[in-house]
Structure 1
Amino acid sequence: MSKIAKTDIRTLSPQVLEALLVEQGEQRFRVKQINEWLWKKGARSFEDMTNLSKKLRTSLREQFVINSIVADKVQHSLDGTIKTRFRLYDDLMIESVLIPVPADRRFTVCVSSQVGCSLSCKFCATGQMKRVRNLDAAEIFDQVVLVNEQCLEKFGHPLSNIVFMGMGEPLLTYKNVMRSIELISSPEGLNRSPRRITLSTVGIAKMIRKLADDEVKFNLALSLHAADDEKRNSIMPINEQNNLTVLLDAIDYFYQKTKNKISYEYITFQDFNDSIADAANLVKLCKRFPVKVNIIEYNPIEGL
């Protein structure tokens, strides 16, 4: 007979956890204590929860697990960036990147939201992988906690910025990403300012409008990479269903409703999107609302 897998306690809402504990004779305030360990302190073991009784810790361990991600490999680049490959509970792998700029006291983590990606952008290694599954909110949260520890150890400074710009498309796992940002920014969680969080998307217009309607407080970045539809279609298939006119309408809607910062990510490809005409087209896309353009040098990827 196969062994029944335990539930990750972090997937339970406070209400469900409270009902379970009360049914087992525990006091309601224990839920707050447990959640403080899980979300404020990033506990990775029930044994870490030292203000709980030994009996309760044993009971939690028998009923639940904490499926924390685990660093599998760390790679240091010459430019100072630190890439960490994390192993998930089901042995799948994701990556996070720490981008330090010590002179400016800026330390940014780039987090993943999916294992793989389904959008097939021609220049992206992840885009050549199939999407295996979405990350749950806790797996995204863990990346921030663990890379923050890495940042403190290496630079003596906490993370200053969080960007959803790693593996996967954040708007295709909307619920989990929103929950992770809630945990990261809430006083009951890591208490990070949402103004220091940026969600980067290839551009899914209806979901950008949903962000606006949900009145999010974080910033939005569009992975643009070409300033006309013909070129963007050729490297980003999603543009065929979300062309630049539709996208800019959605981003304008987002800006008018939230006034949050907007940026364009623009990788330059030699003799493709780096001409004077391309620059002129890019300027036109910057006139509807305030926007910052990040010009990024392309790092060739073997096989692409």
Structure 2
Amino acid sequence: MNTQLPNIRHLSAEELGAWFEKAGEKKFRLKQVEEWLWQKHAHSFEAMTNLSKELRNRLSSSFSLPALRVDATQYSADGTVKSRFKTYDDHLVEGVLIPTEDRKTACVSSQIGCSLSCKFCATGYMDRKRNLGFDEIYDQVVLINQQSEKVYEQKLTNIVFMGMGEPLLNYSNVMKAIEKISSEDGLFMSPKRITVSTAGVAKQIKKLGDDKVRFKLALSLHAANDEKRNQIMPINESNNIKVLIEALNYFYKQTGNEITLEYILFKDLNDGEKDAEELVKIYRQVPADLVNIIEYNPIDAFKFTKPDEDSIQHFMQVLESNRVNARLRRSRGKDIDAACGQLANKESIPA
């Protein structure tokens, strides 16, 4: 494939329409090509079988059609499916299908690697190679949806941007991908079934509000005071908790959309009664619908471990006694390194 040619999926409908008009093709041909690109998920012009051979040749000599492809797949004992995808330029990125009885959720990545260096996250130890294009993000969802239909005979019900990378540092591509996923000529999934998770980029959280987005927002909080959050999330030094609370309130005022606080428990770091009480104080300052308490999934590079069950239950009791809507989220896919914080393309991590 000649990737020096313009990527056909990066052209607007107007630009592509102008090409068809100049080529002397009827308007319905444009509609056919767009269906192949976004609904039938063709990964080559040759696959567009209702077009003439001549038109397919002209398209292939004028445009490129790079697409994500599945490079490897792992199946967990609990039904989770992790896929390693390869990009047109041979980078690797991971995505996960998370099945429950009533949901089939795609956990997708937004960047190849990450620049935020959160200490508990395997991706944080990788260099950020580049952002994923909106079409590559879209491809992840399409491929995971195909897996869901094949393995579970059900389409995806939900999408979470909780894979590799920080979605709000790839703002434009993530927004375009969600627009295409939720459009009638894409996958037609309601934005209310999509959640974007951020480590806390306050400026971009406010931009989401200004853009009146319709999807849900999750904040990866993981510590309830700045001193502890600084230790595990360097981004907190420039986006502290006070600033994030202000940004979340602004987002909610502009959109009214659901907000979730994510909080991973680490033994002897953020799992004490005082930590729980500080989390209650934050909860009361933010219009959050839910606090997700998450089991820590160990990675080799991080010294902390998961608390014992008694500590976890006591932490939950403190939250519940203070009327915090909290849920303990048990991790899935741990046996294939597909759980929260474990996505890393292990062969790509520098020694």
Do both proteins adopt the same fold according to a TM-score greater than 0.5, normalized to the shorter chain?
yes
Aligned with 1:142 (options 115, 139, 143): 139
Identify the residue that residue 6 of structure 1 maps to in structure 2.
5
Aligned with 1:119 (options 98, 116, 119): 116
Separation of aligned partners in 2, 1:199 and 1:95:
16
Q: Is 1:130 the counterpart of 2:124 in the alignment? A: no
Shift of 1:200: 0.3
Q: Is 1:174 the counterpart of 2:144 in the alignment? A: no
Separation of aligned partners in 2, 1:13 and 1:284:
47
Deviates more, 1:18-27 or 1:210-219: 18-27
Aligned with 1:249 (options 234, 246, 259): 246
Shift of 1:57: 1.6
Deviates more, 1:127-136 or 1:19-28: 19-28
- 1:15 is matched by which residue type in structure 2? E
Are residues 62 and 201 of structure 1, via their aligned partners in 2, closer, same or farther at CA, if it must alter by over 3 Å?
A: same
Deviates more, 1:147-156 or 1:287-296: 287-296
Aligned with 1:221 (options 218, 224, 231): 218
Identify the residue that residue 71 of structure 2 maps to in structure 1.
72
Q: Is 1:56 the counterpart of 2:55 in the alignment? A: yes
C-alpha deviations, 1:165-224, integer Å up to 9, x for none? Answer: 111000011111100000000112111000000000000111000000000000000011
Separation of aligned partners in 2, 1:239 and 1:152:
40
**TM-score under structure 2 normalisation?**
0.83
Shift of 1:31: 2.0
Deviates more, 1:168-177 or 1:61-70: 61-70
- 1:206 is matched by which residue type in structure 2? K
Aligned residues: 300
Identify the residue that residue 84 of structure 2 maps to in structure 1.
85
C-alpha deviations, 1:33-69, integer Å up to 9, x for none? Answer: 2112211222222233233222212211222222111
Identify the residue that residue 272 of structure 1 maps to in structure 2.
269
Identify the residue that residue 294 of structure 2 maps to in structure 1.
296
Separation of aligned partners in 2, 1:31 and 1:156:
32
Identify the residue that residue 148 of structure 2 maps to in structure 1.
151
Any idea what SS the aligned residue of 1:7 has? coil
Separation of aligned partners in 2, 1:79 and 1:284:
36
Separation of aligned partners in 2, 1:284 and 1:52:
61
Shift of 1:162: 0.2
Separation of aligned partners in 1, 2:211 and 2:30:
28
- 1:143 is matched by which residue type in structure 2? Q
- 1:292 is matched by which residue type in structure 2? L
Identify the residue that residue 199 of structure 1 maps to in structure 2.
196
Are residues 4 and 260 of structure 1, via their aligned partners in 2, closer, same or farther at CA, if it must alter by over 3 Å?
A: closer
Deviates more, 1:3-12 or 1:195-204: 3-12
Any idea what SS the aligned residue of 1:207 has? helix
> % of aligned pairs identical?
58
Gaps of 5+ in 1: none
Deviates more, 1:151-160 or 1:38-47: 38-47
Q: Point out the structure with the larger strand share.
A: 1
Shift of 1:4: 7.2
Separation of aligned partners in 2, 1:146 and 1:274:
38
Separation of aligned partners in 1, 2:148 and 2:290:
26
Deviates more, 1:284-293 or 1:91-100: 284-293
C-alpha RMSD over aligned residues = 1.3
- 1:290 is matched by which residue type in structure 2? A
- 1:69 is matched by which residue type in structure 2? L
Any idea what SS the aligned residue of 2:297 has? coil
Separation of aligned partners in 2, 1:142 and 1:54:
26
Shift of 1:290: 3.3
Any idea what SS the aligned residue of 1:18 has? helix
Gaps of 5+ in 2: 303-351
> Retained in 1: the 8 A contact 2:80–2:99?
yes
